[in-house]
Every structure is written in structure tokens, then in C-alpha cells.
């Protein structure tokens, strides 16, 4: 008796279709699984056999062969258990239904329960795209799968429930569609809480408007972390496609919130300074996305930047530029997306008070130099906007004056983003930070006066080619916030001023 059941596998964050084929024939009693499965797939045999017995079913006294096709792609994890069970039940006649338009995903426990697995969202999206009508997933993953429109999702609790469903003894109702709760979009952190700091806030607004990387440098307690946490609140709302993109990554990382499975807020990830490189970029024996990918379409905040391992920081340079990370493992090579806005904060020296008007710095020159040099020139170069965050004075902190809310700032940011979206339509570029070398001169046109001013600054400050391009992109953003087609002198001037920290702190 031969039978075929539809299932899925995962490669990095991408799902692929798997045919679970089963052949039950006379011969020496045996149960084998072939088709390039890892250890967890091989152990499926024991889980499935015991789960069937616990569900009051007889495992066939025959030669049972399961083939997982395509046989040349590695299958990992436990998610194929449910498809093997469905195949066994169909081949033995326990289930007598047409399952050709259904997909089965889930792990079996020895007691016959179906346990949650990771990556259900990308697998549901794939199944829908491939035209399947139904997907059977573990009960705990059903809500997550229900964010995908156009496919019936059935949450399976136990092997028995699956049989009863197809025998029509107790039909599993399709999972109700998840509709995001509007109230969870309310901001907990708001720029209205930050007193004063108008210059810094404006720089942050420019960074958000163009998706530029931002470095904040200042003494302890000046509000750097406070400001960084509020950046996602002024970024434009996620589109549905972006939401699905991010949720897919969280699904693979098994980090989807059970109650609110669709991620509707821009991520803000703030990894600890002692995070390892794999924790940041992704990897591991069962590969999972790292912090960079978990911040996809959002903010990656590296607080206390010099405290990170220097070689770890250097390894981030390329993925940040490429907007994706490639991780090689024995199981294959995986590519994870990481379109992030990088925000970093640091003190100017180990005691934190170098340059402070309030306290005397107690660091020696050598200590200061050692500290600041943890941030290499090329890494510093990747921060389009570099700003000093000074201490807020007493009057501002104690003032009852209402500060501008995140919502008001976000409206301006969104307007500037709309201009960019129209300009970069069908180019794959989403904001000014992504402008590629081939179009930079075409989209960043300066007035003659601006060009003259930029040339003088370029020569007198000894700027690099990369600095040239980055200043031009930031100037493009500043001009966009004013709805100006041409980049003017004042825009160039502001953009150049956002790159002066290196001369103050990094030069000897
Ligand atoms: N401009 C401000 N308006 C309101 N509160 C402020 C402001 N600046 C600082 N604070 C208060 O100071 C606290 C500390 O700020 P924060 O942790 O952001 O400082 P920091 O610059 O990150 O310091 P460190 O360098 O030590 O990490 C904030 O949580 C907030 O309560
Ligand atoms: Mg801080």
C-alpha cells in the first residue's frame, strides 16, 4: 500500500515542500525513514510508533518505508512527525479521506499529543502559495498560521483528534483569522517624555526619515538609551508585507507571541554587550536567526558600543552593508535578511565625562585613546549621522512644557518616506540610506552653491569617498524633509556637521 502526504521543511527562514511518501508491504517487520533526515527526523520513528500506540492504534506488523522527497535536500527537526502519522493512518485505512489538498506539520509526543514547532508561518505562506486548501498544524501554532489569508488552518491537539476529524466523529473547526488588536499599537515610550534635546531629536528625525545609521555619544545619564528606545515610535508603520516578513523570522526563531502572533510594531533589538557573533548574526547547530535579523525592518540598538567585542563588531560591517547575512553550517548555507537601522550609543571615555561641562574627566590620555579606538575608522564611517548628546539643564528637565509627541514626528518622517518611495519605485531601494552608487549622482542633485560648499568642506576636512557618498545621502534626506527637489547649501552643511565627531574624539 502506497500513499503520499504533503508537508514542509525549513531552510533558514525559507520553507520548502516535502512529500512524505509511505510504502507498507509484506516482508520482514521494519520501519525505516529515508530522504536525508537529520537525527531528529530519524528519531521520528520512535516518537511516531509510541504516539500511535498511546492513541490506541496498532502499528502495522509489516515492512514500513517512509521517504521524504525531495531526497537531496536535508530535512531537520521534528515537524514531519504529523505527516508521517497521517501517511500511516491513510495507508492502513484508519483515515479514509482525500488529503491531496492538505498539508500536515507538527511534532508528536510519546503520549500522542501534537506539539508546537517553529517556522509555521513561512510554511503556511508556502502552502497557500502552492494552492493547498488546508493546513493541519499543532494547536499551539494555529493562531500563528491564521494570519495567512486564503488557507483553512486546523489546530491539531492529539493523534486521536486527527482521526476523529476525518471520521467526522468530532470535526476540528477551522481556526478563526487573527485580527491585530489596535490597542497594542499604542506607544509605551514616547518622544514627549524627553525634555529639551531639540538638536538631538532633529538629528534622530533625519536618521529615521532616511533610514540612516546613527551614533550617539555623550556622558552617562544624558538620555542616549532613552532616546534610542523611542526611535521605532517615529518610524512609519509596518506594511502588511513587512509584518509578515518579520513574523516569519520570529516564527523560525520560535519567538512568536501566542496571543498576538502577527508582529505589527517595528522591532527594537538591544543585544547585550557580551553577545557572541552567532547570537548576533544567527547560526547554531539547528540554525536560527540572530539579533540582526530579529531587528529586520526595525532598529538594532548597540548600547555601550565600545563594550562589544571588537572582532564581533567588525564582522557586522558586511551584513550591515549587504542587508543580509549568510551563515554556513554543515546542514547548508542559510541567508537571513537584516534590513536594519543601526543605532549605537557610547560614552566618550571610560569614566564618561570627557568633554562634559558638569564633571571633570578622570581618564588618562592613554585610557581615553584605548577606549575610543575600540571603534575602528571603517565602523565609525558606517554611521551616517553622528551626534553628541549633552546633558539636559535643570530648567528643561523641570519644565512643564509639553514636548512634541512621537506621533507628530512620525507624520513628518512618513511624509519624507513617501517622497522616497515615489522616487525609488521599482528599484528595490526603500529609503535614502540604501541609495546605490549607480544612481547617487542622478538622485542627489545639488545646487551649484551647495556643490561649491561641499567641495570646500571635502578638501578642508580631508573626507573619504565613503564619507562623500554618505553625506550626500543624508543631505538628500534633509532636503526631502523640506520637500526640496535640489540639495541646497544648508542641507549639505547640516549633513557635514553630522560627521564631525571623529575629528573631535578619534583624532590624536
Ligand atoms: N532629556 C531628558 N528628559 C527627561 N529625562 C531624561 C533626559 N535625559 C535623561 N533623563 C533621565 O535620565 C535617565 C537616564 O538616561 P539614559 O539611561 O538614557 O542615559 P544614557 O545617556 O543612556 O546614560 P549611560 O551613558 O549611562 O548609558 C532616563 O531614564 C531619564 O529618566
Ligand atoms: Mg545608556
The 10s digit of each residue's pLDDT in 304-341 is 999 999 989 988 988 988 889 988 876 678 889 999 99
**Domain boundary pick from 166, 195, 223:** 166
**Domain boundary pick from 139, 166, 193:** 166
In this structure, the answer to whether residues 216 and 246 fall within a common structural domain is yes
Lowest-confidence segment of 176-185, 212-221, 254-263, 447-456 by average pLDDT:
176-185
Q: Is 508 exposed, middle or buried (0-12, 13-18, 19+ CB in 10 A)?
A: exposed
CATH number for the domain that contains residue 405: 3.40.50.300
- Is 398 among the domain residues? yes
pLDDT, residue 197, reads: 93
CB distance 222 to ligand 1 below 6 Å: yes
pLDDT, residue 327, reads: 84
> What is the count of structural domains for the chain?
2
- Is 498 among the domain residues? no
CA of 74 from ligand 2 middle (Å) equals 44
**Domain boundary pick from 382, 402, 426:** 426
Instruction: Determine the average pLDDT of the residues in 76-102.
Output: 95
Q: What does the alpha-carbon distance between residue 84 and residue 65 come to, in Å, rounded to a whole number? A: 10
CB distance 225 to ligand 1 below 6 Å: yes
- Is 497 among the domain residues? no
3-state secondary structure 101-112: CEEECCEECCCC
- Is 70 among the domain residues? yes
Whether the CB-CB separation of 308 and 345 falls below 8 Å is answered with: no
Average pLDDT, the chain: 92
- Is 501 among the domain residues? no
- Is 388 among the domain residues? yes
- Is 380 among the domain residues? yes
Residue 132 belongs to what domain range? Answer: 2-166
Give the number of the atom of ligand 1 that is nearest the alpha carbon of residue 304: 27
pLDDT, residue 288, reads: 87
Query: Is the pLDDT reported for residue 186 higher than 70?
Result: no
Task: Render pLDDT for 22-59 as a digit per residue (tens, 0 to 9).
Answer: 999 988 999 999 998 888 889 999 999 999 999 999 99
pLDDT, residue 184, reads: 56
Q: What does the alpha-carbon distance between residue 384 and residue 476 come to, in Å, rounded to a whole number? A: 12
3-state secondary structure 412-437: HHHHHHHHHHHHCCCCCCCCHHHCCC
In this structure, the answer to whether residues 106 and 6 fall within a common structural domain is yes
Q: How confident is the model at residue 69 (pLDDT cuts 50, 70, 90)?
A: very high
CB distance 347 to ligand 1 below 6 Å: yes
CB distance 196 to ligand 1 below 6 Å: yes
Instruction: Determine the average pLDDT of the residues in 447-471.
Output: 93
pLDDT, residue 143, reads: 93
CB distance 220 to ligand 1 below 6 Å: yes
* 481 compared with 500, residue with greater pLDDT: 481
Q: Whose CA is nearest to atom 26 of ligand 1?
A: 220
In this structure, the answer to whether residues 158 and 191 fall within a common structural domain is no
Q: How confident is the model at residue 409 (pLDDT cuts 50, 70, 90)?
A: very high
Cα angle vertex 464, ends 463, 469, to 5°?
100
Query: Is the pLDDT reported for residue 187 higher than 80?
Result: no
In this structure, the answer to whether residues 151 and 188 fall within a common structural domain is no
CA of 312 from ligand 2 middle (Å) equals 20
CATH number for the domain that contains residue 136: 3.30.230.10
Instruction: Determine the average pLDDT of the residues in 124-141.
Output: 97
Instruction: Determine the average pLDDT of the residues in 88-103.
Output: 95
CA of 244 from ligand 1 middle (Å) equals 34
3-state secondary structure (DSSP) of residue 64: strand
In this structure, the answer to whether residues 156 and 213 fall within a common structural domain is no
Amino acid at each position: 500500500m502506497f500513499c503520499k502526504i504533503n508537508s514542509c521543511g525549513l531552510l533558514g527562514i525559507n520553507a520548502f515542500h516535502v512529500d512524505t511518501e509511505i510504502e507498507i508491504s509484506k516482508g520482514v517487520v521494519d520501519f525505516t525513514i529515508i530522504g536525508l533526515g537529520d537525527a531528529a527526523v530519524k528519531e521520528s520513528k520512535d516518537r511516531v510508533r509510541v504516539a500511535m500506540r498511546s492513541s490506541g492504534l496498532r502499528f502495522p506488523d509489516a515492512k514500513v518505508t517512509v521517504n521524504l522527497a525531495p531526497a537531496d535536500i536535508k530535512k531537520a527537526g521534528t515537524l514531519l512527525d504529523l505527516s508521517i502519522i497521517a501517511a500511516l493512518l491513510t495507508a492502513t485505512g484508519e483515515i479514509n479521506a482525500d488529503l491531496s489538498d492538505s498539508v500536515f506539520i507538527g511534532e508528536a509526543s510519546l503520549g500522542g499529543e501534537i506539539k508546537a514547532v517553529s517556522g509555521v508561518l513561512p510554511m503556511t505562506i508556502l502552502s497557500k502559495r502552492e494552492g493547498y486548501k488546508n493546513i493541519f498544524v499543532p494547536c499551539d501554532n494555529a493562531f500563528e498560521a491564521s494570519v495567512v489569508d486564503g488557507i483553512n488552518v486546523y489546530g491539531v491537539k492529539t493523534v486521536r483528534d486527527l482521526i476523529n476529524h476525518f471520521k467526522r466523529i468530532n470535526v476540528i473547526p477551522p481556526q478563526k483569522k487573527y485580527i491585530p488588536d489596535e490597542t497594542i499599537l499604542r506607544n509605551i515610550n514616547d518622544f514627549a517624555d524627553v525634555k529639551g534635546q531639540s538638536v538631538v531629536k532633529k538629528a534622530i528625525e533625519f536618521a529615521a526619515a532616511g533610514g540612516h545609521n546613527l551614533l550617539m555619544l555623550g556622558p552617562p545619564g544624558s538620555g542616549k538609551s532613552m532616546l534610542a528606545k523611542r526611535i521605532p515610535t517615529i518610524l512609519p508603520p509596518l506594511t502588511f508585507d513587512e509584518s509578515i516578513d518579520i513574523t516569519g523570522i520570529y516564527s523560525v526563531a520560535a519567538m512568536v507571541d501566542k496571543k498576538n502572533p502577527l508582529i505589527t510594531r517595528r522591532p527594537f533589538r538591544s543585544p547585550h554587550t557580551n553577545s557572541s557573533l552567532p547570537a548576533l548574526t544567527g547560526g547554531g547547530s539547528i540554525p536560527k536567526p540572530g539579533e540582526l535579523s530579529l531587528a529586520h525592518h526595525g532598529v538594532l540598538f548597540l548600547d555601550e558600543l565600545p563594550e562589544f567585542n571588537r572582532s564581533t563588531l567588525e564582522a557586522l560591517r558586511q551584513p550591515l552593508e549587504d542587508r543580509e547575512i549568510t551563515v554556513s553550517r554543515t546542514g547548508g548555507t542559510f541567508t537571513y535578511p537584516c534590513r536594519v537601522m543601526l543605532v549605537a550609543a557610547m560614552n566618550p571615555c571610560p569614566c564618561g565625562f570627557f568633554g562634559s561641562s558638569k564633571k571633570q574627566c578622570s581618564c588618562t590620555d592613554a585610557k581615553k585613546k584605548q577606549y575610543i579606538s575600540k571603534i575602528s575608522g571603517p565602523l565609525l564611517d558606517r554611521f551616517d549621522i553622528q551626534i553628541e548628546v549633552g546633558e539636559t539643564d535643570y530648567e528643561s528637565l523641570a519644565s512643564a512644557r509639553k514636548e512634541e509627541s512621537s506621533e507628530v514626528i512620525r507624520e513628518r518622517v512618513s511624509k519624507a518616506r513617501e517622497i522616497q518611495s515615489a522616487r525609488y519605485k521599482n528599484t528595490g531601494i526603500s529609503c535614502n540610506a540604501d541609495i546605490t552608487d549607480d544612481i547617487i549622482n542622478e538622485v542627489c542633485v545639488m545646487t551649484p552653491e551647495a556643490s561649491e560648499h561641499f567641495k570646500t568642506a571635502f578638501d578642508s576636512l580631508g573626507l573619504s569617498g565613503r564619507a562623500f557618498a554618505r553625506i550626500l545621502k543624508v543631505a538628500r534626506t534633509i532636503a526631502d524633509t523640506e520637500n526640496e527637489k535640489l540639495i541646497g547649501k544648508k542641507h549639505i552643511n547640516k549633513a557635514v556637521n553630522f560627521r564631525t565627531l571623529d575629528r573631535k574624539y578619534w583624532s590624536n
